[in-house]
Amino acid sequence: MPLCGRRRMLLGLNLLRSSMPQVDTHLEPSKNIKGKYENIKKNAKKKFSVEKQNIYITGGGIPEPVNITNIDEKVKELLGINVHGMVNEFDGDTFEFENMNVPSTSKAEETNWAHWSPKLLKTPISTPLSVRKQPTIEVMEETEEERNTE
């Protein structure tokens, strides 16, 4: 176990000892304490995972609030990246509140529809787009019979 992992484990065990009731006068074997710490760590991860999933829930009403205790917060600090996840600048499942499209609350200019008619739908063609009408010349093609007769 690397030194930082060993230090993290000791901090977790101290956290566990501080959160346990002080009724027991005898020391528990280290396997039991380690098992309890692993359970607390696993439950804290589950709680934070459910809390993150509740952001993306659609339909069905308001999600049930997750009861996160001080111990869960301390475990979250100890675990760090295991709970938060790694930051990916190109893709991710983060919910960014800064980039949300919030509809404007300002009043828009209201259109007066009292004098509306269907003729108003047709607008005149702008002058750069209009084509000048030129007189057309009618061209008649001669048929083979007419050519042969001449």
Per-residue pLDDT tens over the stretch 2-37: 456 777 777 777 776 676 655 555 666 777 888 888
C-alpha 44/C-alpha 50 separation (Å) is: 10
Per-residue pLDDT tens over the stretch 73-84: 888 888 776 766
Q: What is the largest CA-CA distance in the chain?
A: 132
What is the end-to-end Cα distance of the chain in Å, rounded? 111
pTM of the model: 0.42
Tokens of 27: 């020391």
Contact between residue 16 and residue 43 where contact means Cβ atoms under 8 Å apart: no
C-alpha 19/C-alpha 39 separation (Å) is: 13
